[in-house]
Amino acid sequence: MKHCYCWAFAFLLSVYALSAQEIQKIDSINAILVQNSSLKTDSLLVIFENNLKAAQKIDYKKGIGEAYKNLATIYGYEANGEKRVAYNLKAIRIFEENDLKPQAANLYGEMGYGMKRDNMEKAQYYMNKGLKMAEEGNYKEVLDRTYNNYGVLKEMQGQLDSALYFYKKGLAIVEERKYTEGLPYSYSNLAGAYGQMGNFDLARDYFYKAKVIREEINDRKGIAENFTQIGEVYLIEGKPAEAVPFFEKSLLIARKEDYRFLMQYTYQQLSETFKQMQQTDSALYYFEKYAVFKDSINSLETTKQIAALEVEFETEQKENEILRQRTQLAEKDLEVRRKNAYIFGSLGLSIILGLLGYLIYSRQKQKNRQLQKEKELQVALAKIETQNRLEEQRLRISRDLHDNIGSQLTFIIISLDNLNYMLKDTGQEVKERIAAISAFTSVTINELRDTVWAMNKEVITVKDLQMRISNFIDQAQSSRRDVDFQFKYKEKHLQKLEFSAVGGINVYRIIQEAVNNALKYAEAQTICVKMEISDSKYKIVILDDGRGFDINGGKSGHGISNMQKRANDIDADFKISTSVNKGTTISIQSKA
């Protein structure tokens, strides 16, 4: 019998040793830096998929989560947004369910960074969540990267001083940890910020410092990024010809590394570079490359699937939070009952009936409160879910209008400019028609931007409308310096008045129509827009000293009927006063 025990103990030791070796192997593969690897993305996918299976076989949770995270990073380089989000969410679940806080903090930051171009609001939400977890646990191996990535979000929003602050915090931790692989990211981030601030020489110095380190550690993807970034500095500096070789070097490496997102971005930068150099053929060539690449990796269906995955993840988190709250309520309820039972036992038989009645009443009241809270919570969650869906739908539509239709109209303008150049020996009438089509397309783009501006807002404040009108008046003044434009504004109790998105854009369109009519047909020397706000009412008046017209002559045109219809749509009073050689006055105001 003793001999059998020895064999069993030896067998357990051998199993433990094998498991430890497997875990060490899984961790070493997961520690491979995807960015610095010389392997192609297809090879990396096979390696990490096999590593995931190995971790799942022995139920090694940390290894499973890290493998999911690495797979998400690779799909990000391939510009496969749907799989990037799906694998990141799987990794987050593994980390949170197994109390792997440093890994969860790091991945929340990475998720926020990955969403920076799609949804800045969600990007900041996830980034802040990861940063808070990392700071609470003082996870320096997470903080250095998260500070750097948070600086990128600030830079994209034009907050350059804040970006520099976070970049320097990240660099300090990288240097403290002597983390060589992290230095290029800090240097590149600082360089980008200095470039936008106009310090071009310092920006290039930092980019070259980053490139030297990346060459030492054979970070091919990072070297490609640095070439693109150096080219961007020359482009911002107004030296497009010097930017071209760097963009071309970046494309050469990005193709070899199958870095699709960088290829798409660099095509766009080359198109802009040749446009600045007035080489329209090359600009159009690279713009078509960019457009084809973008369409192939940014389909509307993929965007829908990513949004669905994010909603599923957020819903699951909300449900888990509700379950936690219910558990806490149940524990508190149990604690109250135990205390009450102790009190009842000590008081004696004389007051048992009274206390029993009180206990029943307390329990019922508490139950009612709990049910009421649960009902209120369900209603609140339903409202939030509905608002989120409406907001996502509105943002999706506005983004589709801006990205797809806007890009197509821009493509038309570039094509017309190119056509005009190719037909330089053609008659004046053809050139004028091409110029008219190009001008009409530019006007359409401006009107599309106005519509997207309105769609992106739940409400339009008076301040928003005031700034929009002021910008329009400034543009009109710059285009017609022979006309005196005026914008007069009075306000009282500004905070009480807000327009819906439809109401705000209709008011703005009426003002646009009135001013454009005065410019086109009235031959006015002075055009004045007056805006008066009082409590929850408004009045807007557009006056000109032009030649006017006979309003009863039956030739008022579609412009006035369009303005009348827009006023009716927002339940506003519309009036027009004009006569021949006496100017025109148009007013709209809220009904009493």
Q: What is the pLDDT of residues 229-240, one digit of tens each?
A: 899 899 888 999
| Average pLDDT score over the chain | 78
On the question of pLDDT at 498 being above 60, the answer is yes
- Segment 491-506 shows an average pLDDT of 74
In 466-505, which positions are buried (b, 16+ CB within 10 angstroms) versus exposed (e)? bebbeebbeebeeeeeebebebeeeeeeeeebbbebebbb
On the question of pLDDT at 11 being above 70, the answer is no
Q: What is the DSSP letter of 239?
A: -
pLDDT number for residue 301: 44
**CATH number for 128:** 1.25.40.10
Sign of CA dihedral 243, 249, 251, 254: negative
Range of the domain at 316: 303-419
Residue 323 lies in a domain: yes
CA–CA dist 90, 294 (Å, integer): 27
Quote the tokens at residue 440: 């009409």
Phi/psi of residue 146, nearest 5 degrees? -70, -40
Residue 249 lies in a domain: no
CA–CA dist 318, 325 (Å, integer): 11
| Statement to judge: residues 182 and 51 lie in one domain | yes
Q: Each residue of 300-314: pLDDT tens digit?
A: 444 545 555 555 555
pTM: 0.42
End position of a domain, from candidates 369, 395, 419: 419
On the question of pLDDT at 208 being above 50, the answer is yes
Residue 2 lies in a domain: no
Q: Each residue of 158-183: pLDDT tens digit?
A: 898 988 899 899 889 888 888 888 88
Q: Each residue of 110-126: pLDDT tens digit?
A: 887 877 877 888 888 88
**CATH number for 492:** 3.30.565.10
End position of a domain, from candidates 237, 265, 281: 237
Residue 269 lies in a domain: no
Q: 35: pLDDT confidence band, cut at 50, 70 and 90?
A: low
- Segment 67-72 shows an average pLDDT of 84
Residue 357 lies in a domain: yes
Q: H helices within 39-139, ranges in order?
A: 41-57, 61-77, 81-97, 101-114, 120-137
| Statement to judge: residues 50 and 150 lie in one domain | yes
Query: How many domains in the chain?
Result: 3
pLDDT number for residue 300: 42
Residue 9 lies in a domain: no
pLDDT number for residue 544: 92
Q: Each residue of 413-440: pLDDT tens digit?
A: 666 666 666 666 666 666 666 666 665 5
Among 8-12, 228-232, 252-256, name the one with the lowest average pLDDT: 8-12
Residue 260 lies in a domain: no
| Statement to judge: residues 410 and 468 lie in one domain | no
End-to-end CA distance of the chain: 101
